[in-house]
Amino acid sequence: MDVTVTDARDHKRYEARVDGVLAAIADYIPTDELLAFTHTEVMPEFEGKGVGSMLIRHALDDVRRQQLAVLAVCPFVSGFVQRHPEYGDLLYRSRTRAVVD
């Protein structure tokens, strides 16, 4: 299985293609300091084959190369990071502190 992952910036998503066929997407909202991953979808014919994990691994590696953070709104991305703690350092951490009276 030949999987290719690309950042389709015009569509604000990463795409995984298997032998040229769209197999999975990971939508994001970009900001100056992070990518907020909002939705991941694996096409039914590719479910259970590891395509979603390959997609997210590539996307997170790309975020690291860009020196950005990740806001994992999407449960698939959040779960991936929980299972792969080597990506935990990418998670966005607010720089503001709560003010307590």
Taking only the tens place, the pLDDT of each residue in 4-18 is 999 999 999 999 999
Q: Is the pLDDT of residue 53 over 80?
A: yes
Q: What per-residue confidence (pLDDT) applies to 66?
A: 97
Show me where the domains of the chain are located: 3-90
Q: Distance from first CA to last CA of the chain, Å, rounded?
A: 58
Taking only the tens place, the pLDDT of each residue in 57-101 is 999 999 999 999 999 999 999 999 999 999 999 999 877 655 555
Confidence grade of residue 33 (pLDDT, cut at 50, 70, 90): very high
Whole-model pTM above 0.75? yes
Structure tokens at 27: 């939508």
Dump the DSSP string for 56-79: HHHHHHHHHHTT-EEEE-SHHHHH
Q: What per-residue confidence (pLDDT) applies to 70?
A: 97
Neighbouring C-beta atoms of residue 55, cutoff 10 Å: 28
d(CA 58, CA 54): 6
Mean pLDDT of 48-59: 97
Which one-letter amino acid corresponds to residue 59?
A: A
Q: What per-residue confidence (pLDDT) applies to 1?
A: 83
H or E segment and range at residue 82: helix 75-83
Dump the DSSP string for 37-56: EEEEEE-GGGTTTTHHHHHH
Domain at 3-90, CATH class: alpha beta
Q: Is the pLDDT of residue 49 over 90?
A: yes
